[in-house]
Structure 1
């Protein structure tokens, strides 16, 4: 069981559900393959639910309760899990992100999460709470996950990180003048890291901008590539190079069109002065 992933039930509602499902399965002496046969799902699906990278759907929890003889216990817990503010596909992507040798990201509208200050991140989630888009508990879940992802950037050796931000990311005022000033200072600091390249894609690019939705591309030590993109209600993880390859090409094209890092840092300073 060298590859067995240890679970922390306190990490998230999905992790708590996964830990409980694993415990119940192991108490009966079943392997994941045996659990799969009893529920009509695949062993990789069982593994994904147990490790928190797959959502426990209503159909799955009903079948699991039936197989394990647990009444509606898992069905009730699963419903709470699906109230998570973390999109499907994202927990699995975070695993890849934590193992990446290179990270390439493009963001629109807001500063990329990996480089948000705590105050900026709190302002973003606080706005979602006030709009009723998420609960306070879900906001805490998002902030805790973001903090873990940010800490992982400082592993040894660190990943090489390429950051492309649409100009809208720094022009939109979030959290008030001081929050924005501190955020611009932090982006300038990030640009000084030896493992980062930070660029702004200016508004003037117009139709030459390669992306119209946020996207993140990660390269792993085995040279494989994974892409992750989000819409408002869903996240999509893609490993097939037939789809990832064109995204990489588009990313490199946008890097060539974007401002240099020196020009981008100058824009951060310009925005900071405007918030003073």
Structure 2
């Protein structure tokens, strides 16, 4: 049997395949045996090992189950995210490994609708705008939009996380993509607010100097009740685990919520803005 030589240094995709083959052979499993455990074909496994097929998140999670890597720092899921989304901010791939498993998500956004609530059309406008500025390539724009859809899909599960979304008023008043795109996006926010596991609050402009955050912030509560904080600048993201720092972020988030409009008042404002969408 001819075995294709692998060159893991050639690309992240090749490194993923080489690692998969190495772990499989260390267990003395054939591709057929691994296929049974992952519910994928041996042909699919061969294609990933040789770099002919890009690994998906679903496939990577099945590998983590088969190899016993779940909840470790060496998951295939994390490596898959790095393969597919190498253009993401430093620190963000690490955050993503926790987002899909969080039991509660609290987030605050300024200027644009939070990614997890963006419609595909709204997300596409933002990605295409980044292409025109030269910040990313068209291929990276496509990845960014499809990746956002994957993140949103990961939150649709039998026991979805509680989501508290606090948005600066600028998020709903800044028009993105014109009338039709913005109208659909605002309608999407209203529909999000109707879900049983969500709360949405708008922070009005007149909060002034009482706003405790100058950058977007996300807080994740995990199944063991631990809380992680994530914040990012224009060029870097940072995942915070240290208890003292996370408590400060959590305190500031609660202070922000007391200054924000109620859930009902926020939905009413979104509907008013939607009626006046130019």
Q: Cα deviations across residues 65-110 of structure 1 (Å, max 9, x unaligned)?
A: xxxxxxxxxxxxxxxx698321122122112111111000000110
CA distance in 1, matches of 2:24, 2:122: 45
Measure how far apart 1:21 and its partner are: 4.5
What is the aligned partner in structure 1 of residue 16 from structure 2?
19
1:183 to 182, 185, 200: 185
What is the aligned partner in structure 1 of residue 276 from structure 2?
274
Task: Quickly say closer, same or farther: Cα 1:268–1:82, change in 2 above 3 A.
Answer: closer
1:156 to 144, 155, 158: 158
What is the aligned partner in structure 2 of residue 224 from structure 1?
226
The RMSD of aligned alpha carbons is 2.5
Specify every segment of 5 or more residues in structure 1 that has no aligned partner in the other structure, as ranges: 1-12, 31-43, 56-80
Matched position secondary structure for 1:247? helix
Measure how far apart 1:152 and its partner are: 1.4
Establish whether residue 52 from structure 1 lines up as the match of residue 67 from structure 2.
Answer: no
Contact 2:78 2:97 in 1 (8 A): no
What is the aligned partner in structure 2 of residue 259 from structure 1?
261
Measure how far apart 1:140 and its partner are: 1.3
Matched position secondary structure for 1:210? coil
Task: Quickly say closer, same or farther: Cα 1:82–1:266, change in 2 above 3 A.
Answer: closer
TM-score (norm 2): 0.74
Task: Quickly say closer, same or farther: Cα 1:26–1:233, change in 2 above 3 A.
Answer: same
Contact 1:18 1:49 in 2 (8 A): no
Q: Cα deviations across residues 213-262 of structure 1 (Å, max 9, x unaligned)?
A: 00110001101111111111111111111111100000011011100111
Contact 2:77 2:97 in 1 (8 A): no
Task: Quickly say closer, same or farther: Cα 1:20–1:264, change in 2 above 3 A.
Answer: same
Q: Cα deviations across residues 35-94 of structure 1 (Å, max 9, x unaligned)?
A: xxxxxxxxx998379842896xxxxxxxxxxxxxxxxxxxxxxxxx69832112212211
CA distance in 2, matches of 1:99, 1:147: 16
Q: Cα deviations across residues 147-176 of structure 1 (Å, max 9, x unaligned)?
A: 011111211101000000001111111000
Matched position secondary structure for 1:248? helix
Contact 2:78 2:94 in 1 (8 A): no
Contact 2:85 2:143 in 1 (8 A): no
Measure how far apart 1:24 and its partner are: 6.2
CA distance in 2, matches of 1:54, 1:237: 16
